Amino acid sequence: MKYTIKQMATLLGTTTHKLRYYQKMGIIKPVIEESTGYRFYSVLDTRRFNLACCYCNLGFSIQDSLQLLSYEPVNAVIEELDNQKERIKKEITFKKLCLCKIDDLKFHLDNLQNTFNNVVETEMAEMIRIEFSAEEIINKDLEILSLRDELLKYSPLIEWTSRIKNSSVINKNNPMQYYYGINMKTEYAEKLGIDISKYTIIPKGTYLYTTFLKKDRSPFDYDTLAILQNYLHENNLNVTADGYSSCFHSTINKDDYNNYHYIIVKK
């Protein structure tokens, strides 16, 4: 059986454009009929095209697919398939964690009404952290930036978070000191195979939690900490841990940003 490119596209439920691309990449190769000069494809081409599509849909590139269709010993194909299987397993793990991350984001939004300018207690999971900016001044240490980039690979499982020094959290008369960085749940990091020993650990436990709205473009100031500080004073609480703050929602009102942040500090 021989097919024109249009007939083959109709048979396989694809496009002539895709067939020409696979031909250009060397997956299939039409035969030129000497008497007419017409190009025709055969059953062999349909099978190679279908196999190449299978490999591509498994996540291989078109170049990888061509290589798989060129290996003579089947052991080489089996090895590549096993490697791809491991990559897909890791991708599945990542996607499952993304589902958990959606719940993390919803937590802040679901509780916004109860926590806005109000302090509540909540349980927080252990986190790993790397920070690379002291009060908006970027740390250029290559090792630190490398650890930052390692976590950035796994966005959206990360959280851009400011660490507020305890002295600033408990007393507005102290200089405001905060450090920008990235947090990730330790559980996520371990499932992704990240070496958590290279990062700072933020312990799990009971945290005081509040949310606030920031409209201006100024850095952290004591107005953003007022609700938490008043709560500590009114309840005679002396926390010894640093605080952490992150933006979890943003809107626009007449071209101005309305950013919603949370602040937590371990009780």
**Confidence class for position 193, pLDDT limits 50, 70, 90:** very high
Question: How far is 131 from 246, CA to CA, in rounded Å?
Answer: 13
Instruction: Give the confidence band of 220 by pLDDT, cuts at 50, 70, 90.
Output: low
C-alpha angle 204-242-172 in degrees, rounded to nearest 5: 145
* Model pLDDT, residue 20: 97
Q: Taking the mean position of all CA atoms in its chain, how far away is CA 264? A: 23
In angstroms, the Cα distances linking 155 to 39, 152, 182, 253 are 48, 5, 10, 28
Closest to 231 measured CA to CA, from 131, 123, 117: 117
- Tens of pLDDT, residue by residue over 90-142, are 999 999 999 999 999 999 999 999 999 999 999 999 999 999 999 778 888 99
Average pLDDT rounded to a whole number, residues 210-221: 82
- Rg (alpha carbons) of the chain, rounded to whole number: 28
Q: Is 207 helix (H, G, I), strand (E, B) or coil?
A: strand
pTM of the predicted protein model: 0.85
User: In the predicted model, what is the mean pLDDT of the chain?
Assistant: 94
Q: Has residue 258 got a pLDDT over 70?
A: yes
pLDDT at position 221 over 80: no
Inter-residue contact 122 to 206 (CB < 8 Å): yes
Angle at 117 between CA 116 and CA 120, to 5 degrees: 75
- The single residue listed with the structure tokens 């600033």 is 168
Whole-number percent of the chain with pLDDT over 90: 84
Question: Other C-beta atoms within 10 Å of 194: how many?
Answer: 19
Q: Is the dihedral of CA 62, 63, 68, 71 positive or negative?
A: positive
pLDDT at 106: 97
Question: Model confidence over 48-100: pLDDT tens digits?
Answer: 999 999 999 999 999 999 999 998 889 999 999 999 999 999 999 999 999 99
| Contact in structure between 55 and 65 (CB atoms under 8 Å) | yes
Kindly tell me if the per-residue pLDDT of 18 is higher than 90: yes
CA atoms within 13 A on the CB side of 265: 22
At a CB cut-off of 8 Å and minimum separation 6, what does 68 contact? 55, 60, 77, 80
Q: Could you tell me which of 16, 14, 25 has the C-alpha nearest to residue 67?
A: 25
pLDDT tens, position by position, 139-174: 889 999 999 999 999 999 999 999 999 999 998 888
Better-predicted residue by pLDDT, 68 or 34: 68
In which residue are the tokens 């802040």 written?
A: 108
